[in-house]
Structure formats: structure tokens, C-alpha cells
Chain A
Amino acid sequence: MSDTFSYFLMAWLDPQLLLLTALGTLAGIYVGAIPGLSVTMAVSILISFTFAWDINNALALMVGIYVGGVYGGSRTAILLNIPGAPSAVVTALDGYPLAQRGEAGRAIGLSTVMSVIGGLLGTLVLAGTAPYLADMALEFASRDYFLIAVLGLLLVSTLSGKSLARGIFSVALGATIGLIGMDQVTAQPRLTMGSMQLMGGIHYVVVMIGLFGAAEAFYQLHNLNKVPIKQKVDKIIPPLSMVLKFLPLSVRTSLIGVIVGALPGTGGDIASLFAYDHAKRSVKHPSRPFGEGAYEGLVAPETANNAAVGGAYVPMLTLGMPGDAVTAVIIGALVIHGLNPGPMLMVETPHIFWFTVGNLALANLFLLFFGLTGIKVFTKVVEVPKAILIPLILVLCVVGTYSINSSMMEVYWMLGFGILGYWLKVFGFQMGPIILGVILGPLLDETYRQAMSSEGESLGGFLLALVSNPLSIVLTSVIVLVLLSQTPAKSWLLARTRRS
């Protein structure tokens, strides 16, 4: 026990580790805020950079970047309607309308406090239940991931605004874009139109930068000479009553985040989608209608994606298996530093677990500090004249896209998606469902085919598997329930029961 505690406090007491965690968190916020600069990329660069360092120092810096980066994505989502990372896509839905009402400062303040709450709850779950949660995550077979993806697809009704047909079209379009590239099973090119460049597919962040960043720049050209909204900067730190009011919701969405994060096949992006959906379904009287600046619409995804960080560490620390792309790179860092990430990690190097837990908690406290200071300067971004902002956004989109794969081809695609996104926006399509499709399409395809192969290519066996395993039964029933509640079947059923 005393060992546990001293490992936990390692990062808190050593000035060097303290400084590195703080530095990482601060840098992470900016990495996260800039579309295209990803935490995965930053951590990979740090591997070479920290090669000769002590492993604890390297890990402290990486934890800081991770925590800061996941949070940072919300900044640009709120201020410019351009999510800095896929897990901040839903944050933009209510965050940006808030900025347009002059409440950008309040929105960032709230998202900071809520991110920290989510991050701390995620860390708590990691500390308390890691081995059990890891065992539970292993129970998920391909068919269960398939069911989760289907459940995710049902979010389309939440994201598609007024026209469901347009939403469904967008999801299918997004999924099609996600499938471009070489088929995983047969190595055949799919939908590549004969292009060698497209064999590797189009990175989903490229689609995101195009549809949100560049399209937004084009769209904002209509308001070129409009005077920017004056931002209120007095009420940045949310009052305690407000935090307490959202506490029950944030606990629920943090749980969603940590569980979805702990599943090796899903991460913060999917977690934030589920959390937003949950908020929309469970909060009967939001502060404003969802999509028009509801605080609840900001609280849910922000708690979930930060809680997912703790979740992602669960399989990594207990089993040596990555919970997402970032933890995969951190595992690589451990290997390069001569540690053996695997089931024996907790036995042979017991300090790593509690050191990481303590470090995550510390990074979240730094996040609270860095997140709440400097908001005033940040909100000024919204007040920059559009004549300056719009060309800068385009340049940022170009650099951001190029940094992903150093490919000019993807930059052209980004501009293409920007122009497409502009027209889709003009004619009443939402961007959310397209990103939903890009994220879930490949997951659906992959897990469906794994499940089919596992059942010996028999559709009957596949369908039977969906209702013959406890976990799958639960997921299938949830899907049926959601479907029933969304379709006319619900009102029909209600009408019938009332009549009888």
C-alpha cells in the first residue's frame, strides 16, 4: 500500500517530472487545437526526442501531451467550428453556437472544468477497476464491435438535423469514403478509381479538415464584412451551481467514455458521439435546444473524450495491448526504452501503473490551470476580422493535412472536400453524419467480415451468434429498443396501448 502511494506521488514530488507534465499538458492543448497536428504524431516524435531520457521523464511528457491534446480539440471547435481532432466533432455542434452568442469564454470555461471532471473520473476508474475492465473489454468479439458500430449508426437521427434522408445519404457517403483503399482481407483495391495514391485510403482527419475547416472558410466568406460578435469575457469560470447541476450527466457520460475508451477497437471519437446522443436522449429540458448552444451538448462529449484517456490506458497497462492509437505509440516507446509491455508489466515494473495513474491525475490538474488561464486571449480569435481569419484558416488546413501523411495528394482531396462541404452545407446537409460514416464505415465492414469468417461464412450462424451470447444479446436488445423509440413504431405502439 505504501508502495502504491509513493508511486502515485512520484510525479507530484519530483520537480523535474512536475515540470515535464506541466509542459506536456500545455503543449498538448495547442497540439490538440490545431487540426492535423495529432497527439499520436506528437508522441511519435517524442520517442526519438526522448530516446536517451529516463523512461519516467518520457512517460510524464507523453501523458501531459495526451491529456492536453484530447482537451485542446474543443478549443477550435468552439471558436471556429473547426474541431481540432475527431473526438471534438460533436463539441462543435453546441460549442460554436455558443461562441456566436458571444459566450465563447463561458463555453471554453465550462468545457475545461468538465474535461477535468471527465479526466479525473476516467483516471479513478482506471485506478480502481483496471484488471476487471480489461477482462470485460476482452469479452467483446468482432460481432459485438459490429453491434456497437450499428448502434453508432443509429446516431444519425441525432446528428442529421431536419432531414433524415439527407442524414442517411451523408452517413453512406462518409462510409464509402472510409472504405476507399486496399481491402484488408484480399488486398484488392476498392473504389480507388485506379489510383495508386488511393491504395492507402483517405485519412479520416483529411476528410474532417476538408469538411469542417475548409468548408467553414468558404461558408464564412458570405459574412466577410460582418462585424464579428463581441465576446463576453467576464463570466469564464462556471459557477459551482452550474457544475453541480451538470454533475449527474457528466458522471454518466464519463462512464460511457471510459468504457468505450477501454475497448481496444474504439476510442474517444466514438465515445463522444455516444455521450452526446445520451445527453440528447436523457436530458429533457436542456438549457437551450440541442444544436443551438445547449450547455449539456458541450458537457457530454467533453467529459466522455477525456474519460476515454483513462480507459485507453486500461488494456495498455494490464495487458500490454493498445486501447487506441496513442497508447499504441506509448507501448512502442516502452519497448524502445527496454521495458516489456505485456501482462507481466504490472508484475515486473509495478511502479509504471501507479506512476501513470498519478501522472494522469496531475496532468488533469494542470489542465484545469492552463485551460482556465488565457481564455480571454483565445476568445479574441473570434473577434479577428474574417478578412484575416479566413485565408489563415485555409493555410492552417493545408499545413494540417500535409502533416498527417506528408502527401500533397491529400491536400488536394482536402480542398475537394472543402468545396463539396460548402455545397452540402448550403443545401441543408450536416457534416456530422459524414464524419460518423467515415469513422464507423470501416469498423462495420471489418467487424462484419471478421464475424462472418468466424462463423464459417454462414449468415445463419452470424445472426444466431448475435442472440446467443449474453453480451451480444444485450447489445442487440439496445439496438432494437433504440430503433423502436426512433421510428413511427413507437407512436403506433403508444397509441395502441392507450386505446386498449
Chain B
Amino acid sequence: MFKPLLVSTAVALGSLAMAGSALAEYPERNIQGTIQWGEGGATDNVARSLTPHVEEILDTTIVLTNRAGGTGVIGMNHVMNQRADGYNLLYGAENPLLYQLMGLADFTYADMHTVNIIGQGLVVIAAPADSPFDSFADLLEHAHENPGELRMGGTGAGGLPNTVLAMINAVDELDVRNVTFGGDGPGITAMLGGHIDFMPLSLAAAGEQIRGGKLKGLAVVTTDEIEALPDVPPITEALPDIESFLPWGPFWGVFVHKDTPDEAKAALEEAYEEAVASDEFQEFLESYGAESLNLNGDEAQEYLDSWQSVTAWSMYEADAESLETTPEELGIPRP
């Protein structure tokens, strides 16, 4: 009974406080940054190397907390339930764009404001160094002859390997045993031991292993060869039709509550744009095997929309039954 009363009092006090501080410049205290994936993961690494630059620009402290779990649902849900004052940031990856499609949650990035789409990872299909396959075409041929024999490392429904598999299956047929791991790391470890035959991975996760000769790249999921992996053919060589889905890759971004005051949104956008563009961070992205995007405003929105449409429709075409709903019902246009 007291709850509504207390909440309204709190809101009233909060807005009073905000009105009082309208003159003061944002930010005037510590900012909370929530990372929707665990410590040591790609999102975590990107967030932790970008944040010190932002702290310098905004002249404040950003306290980073990892709230992993539920493919990122937990972390995003937390930030959406905080006060919309610009003091709660979400460091997220691509997953929320698929929540509704997979029935994980009823929100997506459209329910937040995008501060910056930091960068995009490249995807490589990797195999153990002693694998009998030298290219993705070899592997595909073998799989056509022996359906359901090859073991692919995956990270579960909605994870990157499954999405890449869905894209392949939308234009061709690749019937494999999908072995689910807790993340890229355990998957790579299993592949190093030869316990799985191949795994689509972000370049950030697999690049060093390929360079060190422990894994080999069968294909990069791009239309052209990339500088970082000179001898690995693009996937379009084996599967020309997949071009309609490209360019595609996992991405990382920073988001705030939709109702954040404009002044805070502008300050954040400006700070993040500058931080992402800084030489040091660009160097980091490059050595990390990622492409810098540094998008905000309409450009960011366009990027998110096109990513969602490509991914959702390829998943739908590959295996409609595994989805909770159709992209059509969610109003996602065809790519």
C-alpha cells in the first residue's frame, strides 16, 4: 500500500533534485556502467579498454560492473529499471536485437537510446590445425556426403556460431552435431584438443590461435580477404549466395535509458565518439581483430535495423521452428 506513495515521493524528490541540478553540468557524480557479459569476455575487454578514455574526457569515474546471465537479459533489464538520469550505462553486444524473436525478453535496443556503436568483430570459421579440411568448401562437401557427422562448437541458441550456421543453412545445407559450450573459450579449448571439428568464432577470440598455428581458418565471413588473415578465403568463395547477408558480425555498443535528459545524451555521445576515435583505442581494436564503427544518432539506428533484419530473417529461413515468433509479426522488414 505504501509502495505507490513511496515511489511517487521518490520520483518527486528525484525530479526536484534533477531540476535543482539542471544548472550544474553533467556529469557531476560517478557513472555506473553495466557490462551485460562476464569478466574476460569480448564485451568486457572492449568496455574496460574504452572506459578509461571516456573517464578522462568526462572527468568522472565510471564504475564498471559485470552483470552476466541469460544471454545478457539480466544486465539489460537492470539498466532499463534504473532511473533515467544518464548515470547508468549499458555496455552490450548484439544479442538484445534477437530477444523478442527467441522469446527471451520483450525488450530490444529500440527500447533504449544508443550512445555509440563502438565496433564490429569479424567472424572466422576455424578448425583444428590438423583438420583434414583446408577450406570451407572441403568441409561443406564432406558434410553433404556425411550429414550429421561433423561436430560444430556452438554457444547455444542466439550465440554467434548458431547464427552463422543459420545463415549457411538459409542458402545451403550443413547438417552437423551442434555441441554447446559455455562460451568461445571452452569451445576453442575443445577444438585445440581435437574434440570438435570446426567452430565459427569472432576473430578477436580465434585470431591468436590461428596466428600461432594451433588452429586454421577455413573461411572468413566476409566478401573479401582480410588483412589480418591473408591466406584465409572469404566464405563467398564456397557459398556465393551468402553475400546477401554480408557484411555481418557481432558488435559492441553503449546504451542509456530512453528517457535520459537530452543534455546527458549529448554529453555522452560526444565523449564516446571522441574516445572511440582516440588513437590508443583504435590501435586496440585493430590488434583485437575488430573493425571500428563509432556510430551514433541516425547512423547507429540504421546499423541496428539492418543487423536485426539480416539476422532475424536468416534465422527464420534456416529454422523457423526454433523461434518463438516470426520476424514478420515483430515488424522486422526483409533485408
Contacts and interface: CB of A to CB of B under 8 A. Distances in A.
Given A182-B71, A185-B156, A344 B189 contact: no
B185 to A, nearest CB: 6
Contacts of B105: 196
Interface stretch (A93-101, A216-224, A284-292, A445-453): A445-453
Interface stretch (A3-11, A18-26, A165-173, A325-333): A325-333
B186 A264 contact: yes
Interface string A312-333: 0001000111100100110110
Given A184-B182, A200-B68, A321-B189, A328 B39 contact: yes
Interface string B99-133: 00010110000000000000000000000000000
A140 B71 CA distance: 27
A500 interface: no
Contacts of A477: none
B211 interface: yes
A454 interface: yes
A183 B283 CA distance: 37
A336 B284 contact: yes
Interface residues of A, number: 56
Given A186-B157, A200-B74, A335-B288, A47 B208 contact: no
Nearest to A202: B69
A320 B39 CA distance: 16
Contacts of A322: 40, 185
Contacts of B214: 319, 342-343
Nearest to B66: A44
B219 interface: no
Interface in B26-45: 39-41, 44-45
A181 B180 contact: no
A199 B195 contact: no
A183 B78 CA distance: 20
B193 A140 contact: yes
B211 A344 contact: yes
B51 interface: yes
A321 B188 contact: yes
Contacts of A182: 69-71, 73, 104
B211 A342 contact: yes
Contacts of A193: none
Nearest to B62: A48
A141 B193 contact: yes
Contacts of B41: 332
A196 B40 contact: no
A498 to B, nearest CB: 45
A343 B102 contact: no
- Give the top 5 A-B pairs by smallest Cβ distance, nearest first: A200-B69, A342-B208, A343-B212, A328-B40, A199-B70
Interface of B: 39-41, 44-45, 48-49, 51-52, 64-71, 73-74, 77-78, 102, 104-105, 148-149, 151, 155-158, 177-182, 185-186, 188-190, 192-193, 195-196, 207-209, 211-214, 283-284, 287-288
